[in-house]
Structure 1
Amino acid sequence: MREVAYQCSRGETVQVRYHTAEERAELVREGQAISLKQQPSGSGFIYSNGPNTIRGKGNALTVEIGRMVPLQCQAR
């Protein structure tokens, strides 16, 4: 398991716990963990559970939660 902290737009911070052997990740935002399953990706990575998705490449991460405006994040 690898945990990465991200600094996001609007001053938010999130953590992502990558469980690569299990093809899943946990997005931790505002103290709540959201479990996401790895999805096929042409480049970079995508984890999703339907309404919630994280996608990224290198140090950049986009967080999509429901209908809210996506967060743009950078690894710290």
Structure 2
Amino acid sequence: MKAPVSALLATCMASACSAVPDAPAPSAAAGAVREVEFACDGGQSVTVRFHPDERAVLVRNNEEIVLRQQVSGSGFIYGNGPTTIRGKGEDLTVEIGRMAPIRCRAA
């Protein structure tokens, strides 16, 4: 038996909207900002603050970049156009403009 199109559409929409970052999180109260430090290729480091209002703040070279959560099939993605962070578990990739992606891991 074929499922009604509306049921399939509802299922697809529900799963697409349920993307939640699975970044490493220190124990904290629900709704609190989660701050994660990452060690990156080339001896670089970045910090990401995951806010409960679907935004993240990337701190790199003492510069703060605000990013908005994007829909992700797996893991998490935050971006603002020229800058994107994406990751899963303890891994993070930072993409800034035309620079080569920076690979990082939770410290």
* TM-score in terms of structure 1 length: 0.97
Q: Per the alignment, in what secondary structure is the counterpart of residue 10 of structure 1?
A: helix
Partner of 2:47: 15
Partner of 2:106: 75
The answer to whether residue 87 in structure 2 is matched with residue 56 in structure 1 is yes
Q: Which runs of 4+ in 1 moved over 2 A?
A: none
Instruction: Map Cα deviations across residues 10-66 of structure 1 (whole Å, 9 max, x no partner).
Output: 1100000000x2100000000000000000000000000011000000000000011
Which has more radius of gyration? 2
Question: Which letter maps to 2:46?
Answer: V
Structure 2 residue runs of 5 or longer lacking an equivalent are 1-32
Q: Per the alignment, in what secondary structure is the counterpart of residue 42 of structure 1?
A: coil
Structure 1 residue runs of 5 or longer lacking an equivalent are none
Greater share of strand residues, 1 or 2?
1
Question: Which letter maps to 1:38?
Answer: Q
d(CA) in 2 for partners of 1:67, 1:26: 20
d(CA) in 1 for partners of 2:42, 2:78: 22
* TM-score in terms of structure 2 length: 0.69
Aligned alpha-carbon RMSD (Å) = 0.4
Report the number of matched residues. Answer: 75
d(CA) in 2 for partners of 1:75, 1:57: 11
d(CA) in 2 for partners of 1:70, 1:9: 10
Greater share of helix residues, 1 or 2?
2
